[in-house]
Amino acid sequence: MKFLIHIMRAYPARTLITLAALLVAGIVAGVSLTALLPVLNLATDPQTAGDDNVLVRALRAIGLTPTLGVLLWVLVIGMALKSLITLFANRHVGYTVAQIATDLRLNLLRALLEARWDYYVHQPVGALSNSMATEAARAANAYLDGSRTVALLIETLVYVAVAMMVSWQATLVALGFASLIVLGFGRLVRTSKRAGSRQTQLLRSLIGRMTDTLQSVKALKAMGLSKRANLVLEGETGQLNKALRREVFSREALSSLYEPVIIGFTALGLFVAVSRFAVPLASILVLIILLVRVMAALGKVQRYYQKMVIDESAYWSMTATIERAEQARETSRGGLSPGFEHAIELERVSLAFGDTPVLRDLSLTLPAGAFTTIIGPSGSGKTTIIDILTGLLEPGSGRVLVDGLDLSQCDIGQWRSMIGYVPQETLLLHDTIEHNITLGDPQLGPADTERALREAGAWDFVSAMPERIQSIVGERGGKLSGGQRQRLCIARALVRQPKLLILDEATSALDPDSEAAICETLENLRGRITILAISHQTGLAAVADRVLRLEAGALLDSPATDLIAGAP
């Protein structure tokens, strides 16, 4: 029950309210059921209701005569009250189930967004998506089944208590048989738990692979490799099917076998009660009702517990993912507010990945308002400079200064809010143009979107579309050309009016005409915003104020024209 204890500690108030309601409902049901014995006594002998009955004595203590009508009213009112209290408890459980799924998703989302950049490099996107979707839902369902298990246990204990008052000997015999049954079916529960854990592992792997495959589906189809990718997915899907079949078999076996076995042992217990302990007929009838309820409740307890252990592995998997992301949280830097009016400086910055040096004692100044392009071969450290400037990576040695203020002492969130970033890959959502520009920021409206589109040189083709900024761009922007997609990415970077615009190989996948159009757009922004472009292409170098060449992590000191001519 480690899972339930963990949830109870996380939600103590909700747990106490639920348990209290279930306990009260069980007690009310038990009290009402105690009316059964005097009702049967009155039916067989109208002169007596059984003076030794707790309920009969209680009714007489408050001045009520335990007639058949009164006892039936007690029974009906008690069961109705029990149903109302159970409804309240179940509603509370339902709210808690929804809250658990919501909290798990929000905790994962916060942890992921606060994690260091190097954490994401090692995480399959599909596995994280699986945590957000299936694992959160399965974890919440595990709590629901666990709550039902606890509710039925409370109800069972109440029925046992009432049965003990009728005949403790017969009840103990029946409980002994019930214990043997529960132990006997325990193997099926353990099989289900293993199958559930296997499902969690396979779903995480399968959805991760499927996400990667779909992201590369165009290239796979173009090269005729889609069938090969399908074979890999089919293999894991087959393993998942085997795990599901084991779960189904163990669950259905428990459900199907429990009833006949429980009826047989209940009959045996009642036979012992009648033949050995000479229990009266009225008491036997009440015992039949109570013990059948006890046995049925125990069967449900085991089935709900079985369902809980099938899904609880998803909870542990998701909490482990959250903990790993939290451990990779970005370290808190200083709280100073940066201002970018003069220059950004990299002062003798060095960085290595393991034993491989990437930047070597590099010093660089980016004047405010200037358009600087850095060129160089792949692996020379160009993108690493961007990652350091945006605070995604911290230099191994050296400093980054913004108007003379060390970036390590600044509020990194405020600094990043001053940056517009355009990646090499055009990352567009399957949504409207407006949403792709604003990303749902409520502080940005249609006017901001139009301004950014005009600054990015994208307004002409957007305004010509039937639904303008409400047009859907398709999956990954598939309805647009490469140049149009890149202009939308530039508009997204400009919509918040940043002070620094960074382009990381933003024109590398464009044809010469599209690249020339992007260069013209950037020329129009010259002087109004500081621009840093990383590029293999000569186009961005030709329109820049300054061109720097990076090789093996060091800047070369050469005239701009020579650098452009020598660009790869």
The pLDDT assigned to 39 comes to 61
Mean pLDDT, to the nearest integer, of 461-465?
A: 84
The pLDDT assigned to 445 comes to 84
pLDDT tens readout for residues 10-38:
888 888 887 788 778 777 776 676 666 56
> Closest by alpha carbon to 142, among 196, 88, 106?
196
Flag whether pLDDT at 475 surpasses 80.
Answer: no
Flag whether pLDDT at 46 surpasses 80.
Answer: no
Give the lowest-confidence range in 39-48, 141-150, 293-302, 550-559.
39-48
Stronger pLDDT, 294 or 511, i.e. the higher one: 294
Decide if 213 contacts 220 (C-beta within 8 A): yes
Q: How confident is the model at residue 44 (pLDDT cuts 50, 70, 90)?
A: low
pLDDT tens readout for residues 339-356:
788 888 888 888 887 777
The pLDDT assigned to 280 comes to 63
pLDDT tens readout for residues 253-276:
766 766 676 666 666 666 666 666
CA distance readout (Å), 300 to 149, 167, 233, 251, 433: 8, 24, 37, 12, 52
434-471: burial string, b at 16+ Cβ within 10 Å, e else = bbbbbeeeeebeeebbbbbbbbbbbbeebeeeeebbee
CA distance readout (Å), 168 to 160, 165, 236, 318: 9, 6, 54, 46
The pLDDT assigned to 216 comes to 61
The pLDDT assigned to 228 comes to 63
Give the lowest-confidence range in 109-113, 197-201, 362-366, 452-456.
197-201
Give the 3-state secondary structure of residue 548.
Answer: strand
Q: Which residues neighbour 135 within 8 Å (Cβ) at sequence distance 6 or greater? A: 104, 200, 203, 204, 314, 315, 317, 318, 321
Q: Which residues neighbour 43 within 8 Å (Cβ) at sequence distance 6 or greater? A: 68, 282
> Closest by alpha carbon to 103, among 232, 213, 14?
14
99: number of CA atoms within 13 Å, CB side?
Answer: 11
pLDDT tens readout for residues 531-553:
888 877 666 777 778 888 877 76
The pLDDT assigned to 48 comes to 54
Question: In what helix (H) or strand (E) does residue 547 lie, and over which residues does it extend?
Answer: strand 546-551
The pLDDT assigned to 558 comes to 46
pLDDT tens readout for residues 424-447:
777 777 888 888 888 888 888 888
CA distance readout (Å), 457 to 191, 418, 490, 525: 62, 21, 9, 11
Domains and CATH numbers, the chain: 2-205+241-327 (1.20.1560.10), 343-565 (3.40.50.300)
Decide if 498 contacts 422 (C-beta within 8 A): no
Burial label for 51, CB within 10 Å (0-12, 13-18, 19+), is exposed
Six-digit token pair at 329? 């949280």
pLDDT tens readout for residues 164-205:
776 777 777 777 777 777 777 777 777 877 777 787 777 777
Q: How confident is the model at residue 509 (pLDDT cuts 50, 70, 90)?
A: low
The pLDDT assigned to 205 comes to 75
Give bridge partners of residue 343 from the DSSP assignment: 367
The pLDDT assigned to 225 comes to 55
Report DSSP letters for 68-121, one per residue. HHHHHHHHHHHHHHHHHHHHHHHHHHHHHHHHHHHHHHHHHHHHHHTB-HHHHH
The pLDDT assigned to 534 comes to 84
Residues 565 and 568: their CA atoms lie apart, in Å, by: 9
The pLDDT assigned to 468 comes to 83
The pLDDT assigned to 224 comes to 64
Return the ∠ at Cα 101 (arms to 97 and 105), rounded to 5°: 165
Flag whether pLDDT at 78 surpasses 60.
Answer: yes
Q: How confident is the model at residue 232 (pLDDT cuts 50, 70, 90)?
A: low
Q: With the C-alpha atoms ordered 313, 315, 319, 322, is the resulting torsion angle positive or negative?
A: positive
What is the average pLDDT score of the chain? 76
Q: How confident is the model at residue 278 (pLDDT cuts 50, 70, 90)?
A: low
Q: Which amino acid is at 537?
A: Q
Strands 343-353 and 419-422 turn out to be unpaired
